[in-house]
């Protein structure tokens, strides 16, 4: 059994993936916001890191065409890595947010512009169809997603997309989307410190509907895409010491313990951290330890939801 398979598997439609995946955003630098951009690793190193993830059993990669920096495109790196890898890897991308070629954020795509975004992902990834496309909402409080999701459903019918998902949404959006087309995953911010998806009943709704819930920022929490810092949560330290584990592993294990439909997509450019993240799938927390981790630390304000 591969390391990534120790947490079990889940199906995104008919595509079975190990519950520990990999988020590709950090391959372009440290993040996408102006206050967290960092120097990206070189291309050969990035491709080698992706191959290492695949060798560990990671077969679920999260990306987007708007994951790019002046020097790197996540999709281009994934394309290069997959061109010399001959086993199945499910690539999940997202559309909705828009950036111009210089990297400046633009107005989110209209429904009639989503085909262009899908085709851009196809070109960058070198594919004839996309495994999974998430409709990413800039504002989780948006009234309706029907037109946008309907446009993606048409592209699914046309064969450009195999399965559809949602990102940065609420329960009402999931319910609305399901009246239009099947939803295989929901990707939202979720961590020990940020459990809005629990408060809204979104994690449980996904479980009831057989939909994968895929948290982002599960390790970084309220720091979001900022650079890693020393762990200050005493609860996490306590559990980590008991297992001789890292704080990141405890955070990922807690995430996976939320339910068999919950996946993880931690991103890193450090090979040692990659191995640790994948190994977190085998970390089993006791009921007492889950109780120690307890209630979330309530943030003073809601963090921004660009991710």
Nearest alpha carbon to residue 77 among 26, 13, 136: 26
User: Strand (E) positions, 13-111?
Assistant: 15-18, 22-23, 60-62, 90-95, 98-99, 105-106
99 DSSP β-pair partners: 105
Residue 18: count of CB within 10 angstroms of its CB:
25
Nearest alpha carbon to residue 244 among 283, 281, 275, 273: 283
Phi, psi values for residue 28, rounded to 5°: -90, -5
Q: Position of tokens 């939320």?
A: 258
Residue 280 — left, alpha, or beta (φ > 0 → left; ψ -120 to 50 → alpha)? alpha
3-state secondary structure of 134: strand
Cα distance from N-terminal residue to C-terminal residue, the chain: 32
Phi, psi values for residue 262, rounded to 5°: -90, 125
Determine the Cα–Cα distance for residues 157 and 181; give it in Å rounded to an integer: 10
Catalytic residue list: 67
The distance from CA 214 to its chain's CA centroid, rounded to whole angstroms, is: 6
C-beta separation of 215 from 190 below 8 A: yes
Q: Work out whether strand 98-99 and strand 105-106 pair parallel, antiparallel, or are unpaired.
A: antiparallel
Determine the Cα–Cα distance for residues 300 and 49; give it in Å rounded to an integer: 37
């Amino acid at each position: 059994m591969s390391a990534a398979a120790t947490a079990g598997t889940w199906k995104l439609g008919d595509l079975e993936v190990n519950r520990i995946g990999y988020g590709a955003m950090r391959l372009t630098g440290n993040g996408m916001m102006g206050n967290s951009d960092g120097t990206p690793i070189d291309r050969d190193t990035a491709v080698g890191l992706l191959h290492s993830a695949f060798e560990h059993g990671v077969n679920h990669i999260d990306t987007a065409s708007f994951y790019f920096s002046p020097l790197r495109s996540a999709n281009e790196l994934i394309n290069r890595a997959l061109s010399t890898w001959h086993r199945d890897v499910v690539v999940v991308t997202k559309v909705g947010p828009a950036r111009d070629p210089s990297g400046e954020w633009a107005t989110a795509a209209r429904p009639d512009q989503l085909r262009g975004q899908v085709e851009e992902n196809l070109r960058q990834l070198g594919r004839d169809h996309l495994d999974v496309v998430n409709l990413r909402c800039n504002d989780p409080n948006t009234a309706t997603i029907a037109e946008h999701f309907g446009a993606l459903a048409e592209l699914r019918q046309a064969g450009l997309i195999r399965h559809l998902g949602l990102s940065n949404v609420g329960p009402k959006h999931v319910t609305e989307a399901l009246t239009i087309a099947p939803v295989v995953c929901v990707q939202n911010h979720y961590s020990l410190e940020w459990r809005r998806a629990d408060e809204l009943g979104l994690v449980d709704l996904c479980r009831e509907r057989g939909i994968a819930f895929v948290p982002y920022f599960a390790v970084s929490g309220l720091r979001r895409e900022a650079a890693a810092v020393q762990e200050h949560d005493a609860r996490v330290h306590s559990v980590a010491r008991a297992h001789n584990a890292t704080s990141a592993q405890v955070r990922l294990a807690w995430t996976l313990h939320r339910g068999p439909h919950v996946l993880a997509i931690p991103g890193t450019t450090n090979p040692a951290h990659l191995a640790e993240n994948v190994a977190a799938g085998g970390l089993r927390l006791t009921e007492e330890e889950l109780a120690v981790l307890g209630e979330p630390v309530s943030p003073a304000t809601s963090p921004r939801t660009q991710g």
